[in-house]
Amino acid sequence: MNIACGTDIIEIKRIKQSIETIGEKFLNRIYTINEINYCESKKSQKYQHYAARFAAKEAIFKASSKFIDNKFSVDWKDFEILNDSQGRPYVSKAANLKFNQIDISISHCKQYATANVIIIK
Ligand X SMILES: CC(C)(COP(=O)(O)OP(=O)(O)OC[C@H]1O[C@@H](n2cnc3c(N)ncnc32)[C@H](O)[C@@H]1OP(=O)(O)O)[C@@H](O)C(=O)NCCC(=O)NCCS
Q: What's the burial of 7, exposed, middle or buried (CB within 10 Å: 0-12/13-18/19+)? A: middle
Cβ at position 69, least distance to ligand X in Å: 30
Q: Which H or E run includes 62?
A: helix 46-64
* Residue 74 vs 115, nearer CB to ligand X: 115
* Residue 46 vs 77, nearer CB to ligand X: 46
Does 108 participate in catalysis according to the annotation? yes
The closest residue (CB) to ligand X is 87
Q: Which residues form the interface with ligand X (CB under 6 A)?
A: 49, 52, 83, 86-89, 106-108
Cβ 35 vs Cβ 81: under 8 Å: yes
Does 49 participate in catalysis according to the annotation? no
Q: Which residue in the list 16, 46, 62, 77 is annotated as catalytic? A: 62
* Residue 100 vs 107, nearer CB to ligand X: 107
The closest alpha carbon to 28, from 13, 18, 43, belongs to: 18
For 103, other C-beta atoms within 10 Å of its C-beta total 14
Which residues are marked as active site?
62, 108
